[in-house]
Amino acid sequence: MEFSGIGIILFLGALLLSMAFHEAMHAFMSHWLGDDTAYHEGRLTLNPLAHIDLITTIAVPLVLVLMGLPPILAAKPVPFNPYRVRFGEYGAALVGLAGPVSNLLLAIATAGVLRVGNFMPSSLLVDALVTLLQVNIALFVFNMIPFPPLDGSRVLYAFAPEPVRRVMEQIESIGILGIMFILLLLLPYIGPVISQANRDILMFLL
């Protein structure tokens, strides 16, 4: 991914679009399952302005990418009440899955356009589509890590024994910035795995 000049604009545009879609799907899923919390908070929308956080959505991932590290991406969390959604913990897991699965579907659709489209290899449109593809793969892979409050932890929580749930709740209680700091410390260990997963999915889709 090229990050000089227009590349930064393409990255930020793809990030805002993909993150807004990700968060909106959390909100739509929770609303569909019976919880109207996100609706009343104004999060049942594809408008990126309703979902972005300047630090965790823009600044942190951009700095990490410029440093050659896998981006840690976090939007303003979509509020939902796990006790109000249908199917209990499994419904909460569906709410968690809705975000990263939506990014995977966007990545598949974007790869399909790249595969069938007759584009000039060095065109701006190709650069934009490739950036969109890479951002959505990164969002899918990172958010599926089963570490609170990432979406993968919702799936783990639905099936984990009570002692594991208590540990996850304690981790989540330290707040998003604290958790992002922990993830930064873990990057030397999990970064290569994340990068390899991103490459494998990219190669598979293309």
**Catalytic residue numbers?**
23
**106 exposed, middle or buried (CB, 10 Å; 0-12, 13-18, 19+)?**
buried
Sign of the CA dihedral running 64, 66, 67, 68: positive
CA-CA-CA-CA dihedral for 54, 60, 65, 69, to nearest 10:
-160
Q: Which of 155, 152, 148 is nearest to 171 (CA)?
A: 148
Alpha helices in the chain (DSSP H): 6-32, 37-40, 60-66, 88-116, 124-143, 151-159, 162-172, 176-205
Give the contacts of 78 (CB within 8 A, at least 6 positions apart). 23, 26, 27, 30, 38, 41, 43, 51
Cβ atoms 151, 33 nearer than 8 A: no
Looking at residue 122, what DSSP letter applies? Answer: T
| Count of other CB atoms within 10 angstroms of residue 149 | 17
